[in-house]
């Protein structure tokens, strides 16, 4: 029941109306008996969003596109790992001190760890916010990273930051990858026929992961599945980063199967 003791959590983004955050966090609050509610706020600027956290004593927030970088300068403390990545996706309000964390990085790597990353050639398609989290996570696991991106300058900058090689988009088919990770929005609803990696370059031995989770089976994952590859969908990362946020906020480990099932149902 919502009452005077109910604490507020939220997501800041623009757009934010499509966010699955409210569905999973509210289900987890209910499941764990936490008197809290999570709402989606479509905001215009990072400074105003952070001010509202202070004014309303919001206990925690998820941060999504396009504020993951611009929010950082308004917080009181940034976790060193988030500083290295250059992006914050989680705000924790610790008694009025606003702390910034990045749970995307660990979440991106977690589903890949069972397949082994150390020494594997990992091709990361994209060089935006998601790519940075993924690349830092893979670098921490000693993967041999190749970055490819439409805008060469951004791709080269990320490659340099994580000690990786850069290969231009038109040379993607030549990349000898063991693991391919799409971190771009290519293939996302409504452009579901687009694919971020050349289908002819996908080989059955590859592990292929997509961070896009609408649709759950992107054309990249469908193609990889048809070729016999191991595939990992974007919901795995999304649930893992949300579960880590929930734990940072409440100190409670949520039921990730419940979170995944509720997203699939909604």
Cα separation values, 71 from 64, 96, 97, 229, Å: 10, 16, 15, 38
Residue 127, interface with ligand NAP (CB under 6 A)?
Answer: yes
Half-sphere exposure of 109 (CA within 13 A, CB side): 19
Residue 90 lies near ligand NAP (rule: CB under 6 A):
no
Q: For residue 238, state whether it binds ligand NAP (rule: CB under 6 A).
A: yes
Q: Which of 155, 154, 194, 106 is nearest to 145 (CA)?
A: 155
Q: In this chain, which of 14, 70, 83, 185 binds ligand NAP, going by CB under 6 A?
A: 185
Give the whole-angstrom CA distance, residue 167 versus residue 137: 20
- Give the active site residue among 20, 68, 99, 120: 68
Q: Is 150 in the site for ligand NAP (CB under 6 A)?
A: yes
Selected range binding ligand NAP among 19-27, 73-81, 94-102, 232-240, rule: CB under 6 A: 232-240
H or E element at residue 135: helix 129-140
HSE-up of 170 (CA within 13 Å, CB side)?
1
Active site residue 94: no
Looking at residues 36 to 75 of the shown chain, list those that interact with ligand NAP (rule: CB under 6 A): 65
Sole binder of ligand NAP in the list 49, 124, 130, 262 (CB under 6 A): 130
184 binds ligand NAP (CB under 6 A): yes
- The residues carrying an active-site annotation are 68
């Amino acid at each position: 029941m919502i009452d005077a003791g109910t604490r507020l959590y939220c997501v800041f983004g623009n757009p934010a109306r499509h966010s699955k955050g409210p569905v999973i966090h509210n289900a987890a609050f209910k499941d764990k008996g936490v008197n809290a509610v999570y709402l989606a706020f479509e905001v215009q600027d990072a400074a105003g969003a952070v001010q509202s956290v202070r004014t309303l004593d919001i206990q925690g927030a998820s941060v999504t596109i396009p504020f993951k970088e611009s929010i950082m300068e308004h917080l009181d403390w940034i976790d060193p790992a988030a500083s290295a990545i250059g992006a914050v996706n989680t705000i924790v309000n610790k008694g009025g001190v606003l702390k910034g964390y990045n749970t995307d990085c660990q979440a991106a790597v977690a589903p890949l760890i069972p397949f082994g990353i150390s020494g594997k050639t990992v091709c990361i398609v994209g060089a935006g916010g998601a790519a940075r989290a993924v690349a830092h996570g893979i670098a921490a696991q000693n993967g041999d990273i190749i970055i490819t991106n439409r805008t060469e300058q951004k791709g080269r900058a990320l490659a340099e930051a994580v000690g990786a090689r850069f290969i231009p988009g038109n040379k993607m088919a030549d990349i000898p990858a063991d693991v391919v990770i799409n971190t771009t929005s290519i293939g996302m609803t409504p452009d579901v026929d687009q694919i971020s990696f050349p289908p002819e370059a996908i080989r059955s031995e590859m592990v292929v992961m997509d961070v896009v989770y609408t649709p759950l089976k992107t054309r990249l994952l469908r193609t990889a599945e048809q070729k016999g590859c191991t595939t990992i969908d974007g919901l795995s990362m999304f649930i893992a980063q949300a579960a880590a946020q929930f734990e940072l906020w409440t100190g409670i480990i949520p039921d990730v199967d419940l979170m995944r099932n509720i997203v699939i149902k909604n």
